[in-house]
A = this chain, B = another copy of it.
Amino acid sequence: MSIAERKERQRAERYELILAAARELAEAEGWDAVTTRRLADLINYSQPVLYSHFKGKAEIMAAVATRGFEELAARLEAETVKAAGAGGVLRNVCAAYVDFARSHAVVYEAMFVLPTNIKFASDDTPPALRAAFAALVAALGPDRREPVFLAEVLWGALHGLVVLMQSGRIPASGAEARLEVLVEKFSDKAQVSGPLEPHKPA
């Protein structure tokens, strides 16, 4: 391996080290604890070295978010192909979304809660974010009127539940039942079936 290749590999490794450090520190102590001084300590370099990889702290968080979009997209896409054609696709995709948010709470915050320089709904939107959204659209099933629009409303409803529960503003207990209500309201059957069965919060 050439010297240039070795240097590039080491640089890429350090980039990953920074992202891993940011994510782990955020998971352990929250994003407020993730500072450039502490990241530098964790990777055993001085602060300015971070700035040779990222334009600033916001870009570190954006990189963590982008990894999150990739993981979320993979997760949702897996659910759409797992039960293709079956009525449970919407439920599974929605459940996967909520489960992702629950199990990757700080990554989810970086993705969809904290201020970001990532562009949404534009040409500069990360492909993985588009893919994740496309999986939501696909989960609604074929033959839906205005599927992209409806997927935006569904996304809002899922996101709202997730963030209100995760910030302690509504009880986390009852999450599955609330999800069930949402899924039924967005299911293509919602428009032709009779009165719903009652739901009991946990």
Q: A29: which B residues are within 8 A, CB to CB?
A: none
Tell me the bound Cα distance from A15 to B192 in angstroms: 56
Q: Closest residue of chain B to A112, judged by CB?
A: B169
Interface residues of A in 164-200 (CB under 8 A from B): 164-165, 167-171, 174, 177-178, 181-182, 185-186, 190-196, 198-200
Copies in the complex: 2
Contacting residue for A159 out of B163, B182, B185, B196, CB 8 A: B163
Q: On chain A, which size bracket covers the interface?
A: 35 or more
Flag whether A152 is at the interface (Cβ < 8 A): yes
Tell me the bound Cα distance from A136 to B168 in angstroms: 19
Q: Closest residue of chain B to A144, judged by CB?
A: B198
Instruction: Mark each residue of chain A from 129 to 154: 1 if its CB lies under 8 Å from any CB of chain B, else 0.
Output: 00000000000000001100110110
